[in-house]
Amino acid sequence: MAEPTQTLVDSRRPQIYPTLEPAEIERLRRFGEVRSYAAGEALATVGGVDHGLAIILAGHVDVVRRDPWDRRWPIVTHSPGSIMGELAQLAGRPALVDAYAQGAVEALTIPPERLRALMVAEAELGERIMRALILRRVGLIQAGAGGPVIIGRAGNGDVLRLDGFLSRNGHPHQSLDAETDAEAKALIERFHIDPGQLPIVLCPGGQLLRNPSEGELARCIGLVGPVDPKRLYDVAIVGAGPAGLAAGVYAASEGLSVLMLDGRAFGGQAGASARIENYLGFPTGITGMALMARAYTQAQKFGVEMAIPDEARTLQGTEDDGRFILALATGERVSARSVIIASGARYRRIAAANLASFEATSVHYWASPLEGKLCAGQEVVLVGGGNSAGQAVVYLASQVAKVWLLVRGSRLESSMSRYLVDRIAGLANVELATEAQISGLEGSDGMLQAVRWRRGGEEIRRDVRHLFLFIGAEPNTDWLAGSGVALDNKGFVLTGADAVSDRRLLETSRGGVFAIGDVRAGSVKRVAAAVGEGAQVVAALHAFLAKTPARLPPLSG
């Protein structure tokens, strides 16, 4: 196993490992407790939840990572004034690395809830600490250090699934190719693994999982813990996309207790966006993952409890009960005085088996100037007959050599506004193919090389590197069946006066249940709009909570 790369650590060492002045440490004493450690004693153990962040007062602490052979690799040695910890300590999650006292050590330990109070009360110091914790996590991710090891064949669907899950959740991990990596082969032998049982995952705590589900893996590495069934949260937010994360940040920063659930990963659709160019304040654009990872850390800083991956299956209870119950896919139950539905939508995809392999580079659900530039001077295919497809065609036609517009129906007029139909008709470089359906995608290494479609009895093939899909979005509202939350005819959640005449803005037909972001009928399907609704809903939430009883007897059973 190679030494982890040190690029980030080298370039940003003073920010990753700041040393606090004695006067600064004095100011932090009120947030923690002084503890003594004997030589060799552990301050943190991989997989264990420790006392929290530790400010070293006396002595030295070695931080090391362990590999699957129990070999130890030094990361850093902390001296007096140093801070020991990373993002796991902010959220009270299991440690990713070991830390041992070199000799006798005295440290000020700050538990997660006090650390969050520190961040708020000591803004400048809090910012320095937060930056160090984030950069340390990024360093671990870059080095693939301190997390589980996936062993399987490179390119195997389950390896990609597990790798994608950990990446989307910002968790360090390493993937070893079972066919070419000598250490992977040795591990397979050591654990007597049949090739048919691959991929396997070795968790940092030593457990071995055979081709686990995302939920099993998340539980093994402590990414998600059990939900306390007796706890009554002020609000449960379903969905950790931009809308849910924004609502979490505003609600928790205003003192509400918040549980946030997401069935997959934080970030939602935005987390999958290669580059967001139109979010205010980022003139050079930002990757969706970078934007969402910041929001996720920010929500944790304000004390939002995360249950990811945990999927909501049903919603029960009423405003009059003063308690809503979410039943989760794990069989657990969450109780909350109010609920925010932020479960978003998913773009419809075509049924081509290899579609996913081209999605990072060649398949687009969006036609912004970025895509325009990417496809400039080329031939592209666009599928869809609605107005958003029409607008995209008009824009792309000004950038590319030719647009093939494929629609399933026999007439564009039946699904698109007249003005767009007329404009498209006037564009010489747009060719409309009605009653057409994609029959195949060709390419390699994630790059599309040709698209085939069927029209009548004929199959047409064009050398095309970019495919645009504008075939609509489906709301993630199946889990609301039987909840009494009113939906529109496409399944999006109705809010405000569209739901019931005297409803608050963003409140659904069920009092105390709110909906924001892409899942809401009539919302603008953009990151900024989702974030705005997340901020706005908190005012309505306060108004609702002010009139419902704050304390209820715990649930029995």
Kindly tell me which of 222 and 344 has the beta carbon lying closer to ligand FAD: 344
Closest-CA residue to 536 (of 340, 235, 210, 247): 247
Give the pair of three-digit tokens for residue 86.
């990373």
Per DSSP, the residues of 88-126 read HHHHTPPBSSEEEESSSEEEEEE-HHHHHHHHHHSHHHH
User: Between residues 50 and 371, which has the closer beta carbon with respect to ligand FAD?
Assistant: 371
What minimum distance in Å lies between the beta carbon of 480 and ligand FAD?
A: 9
Minimum CB distance to ligand FAD smaller for 218 or for 261: 261
Cβ 99 to ligand FAD shortest distance, Å = 33
Whole-angstrom Cα distance, residue 245 to residue 292? Answer: 8
Q: How far is the CB of 95 from ligand FAD (least distance, A)?
A: 27
In 10 A of CB 189, how many CB atoms? Answer: 9
What is d(CA 203, CA 208) in angstroms, rounded to the nearest whole number?
Answer: 6
The span from the CA of 426 to the CA of 495, in Å, is 40
- C-alpha to C-alpha distance for 303 and 255, rounded to whole angstroms: 9
Whether residue 261 contacts residue 236, with contact meaning beta carbons closer than 8 Å, is answered with yes
Shorter beta-carbon distance to ligand FAD: residue 31 or 468: 468
Whether the CB-CB separation of 158 and 214 falls below 8 Å is answered with: no
Task: List, in order, residues 6 or more apart from 506 with CB less than 8 Å away.
Answer: 495, 496, 514, 515, 516, 520, 533, 536, 537, 540
**Nearest by Cα to 99 from 129, 143, 55:** 55
For the chain, percent helix, then strand, then coil, each to nearest 5?
30, 25, 40
| Choice between 269 and 357, CB closer to ligand FAD | 269
Query: Residue 208: enclosing H or E segment and its boundaries?
Result: strand 208-210
CB 56 within 8 A of CB 77: no
Closest separation in Å from C-beta 370 to ligand FAD = 8
CB of 260 to ligand FAD, least distance (A): 9
Shortest Cβ 51–ligand FAD spacing (Å): 32
Instruction: Report the run of H or E that residue 268 belongs to, with start and end.
Output: helix 268-271
Shortest Å distance, C-beta 519 to ligand FAD: 6
Is residue 334 within 8 Å of residue 305, measured between CB atoms?
no
Beta-bridge partner residues of 286: 276
**Residue with smaller CB distance to ligand FAD, 44 or 261:** 261
Q: Which is nearer to ligand FAD, 371 or 379 (CB)?
A: 371
Q: How far is the CB of 528 from ligand FAD (least distance, A)?
A: 6
What is the CB-side half-sphere exposure of residue 77 using CA atoms within 13 A? 8
Least Å distance between CB 495 and ligand FAD? 13
- Minimum Å gap between C-beta 92 and ligand FAD is 21
Choice between 15 and 287, CB closer to ligand FAD: 287
* Residue tagged 């998340």 (tokens): 218
Comparing CB distances to ligand FAD, the nearer of 101 and 217 is: 217
Q: What distance in Å separates the CA atoms of residue 532 and residue 280, rounded to the nearest whole number?
A: 12
Half-sphere exposure of residue 264: CA atoms within 13 angstroms, side-chain side: 17
- The nearer residue to ligand FAD, 448 or 530, going by C-beta atoms, is 530
50 versus 533: smaller Cβ distance to ligand FAD: 533
CA distance 161 to 23: 48
Residue closer to ligand FAD, measured from CB, 41 or 216:
216
Closest distance between ligand FAD and the C-beta of residue 219, in Å?
16
Q: How far is the CB of 237 from ligand FAD (least distance, A)?
A: 9
- Enumerate binding residues for ligand FAD (CB under 6 A): 238-244, 261-264, 268-270, 272-273, 276-278, 311-312, 342-345, 347, 365-366, 476, 479, 517-519, 525-528, 530
**Which of 59, 267 has the CB closer to ligand FAD?**
267
Q: Name residues whose C-beta falls within 8 Å of residue 290's C-beta, 6 or more positions apart in sequence.
A: none
Beta strands in 384-481 (DSSP E): 402-406, 430-433, 436-444, 447-455, 458-462, 466-469, 473-475
374 closest CA partner among 407, 347, 396, 390 = 396
Residues with Cβ within 8 Å of 464's Cβ and at least 6 positions away in sequence, in order, are: 378, 379, 380, 381, 404, 448, 450, 451
Please say which residue, 342 or 396, places its beta carbon nearer to ligand FAD: 342
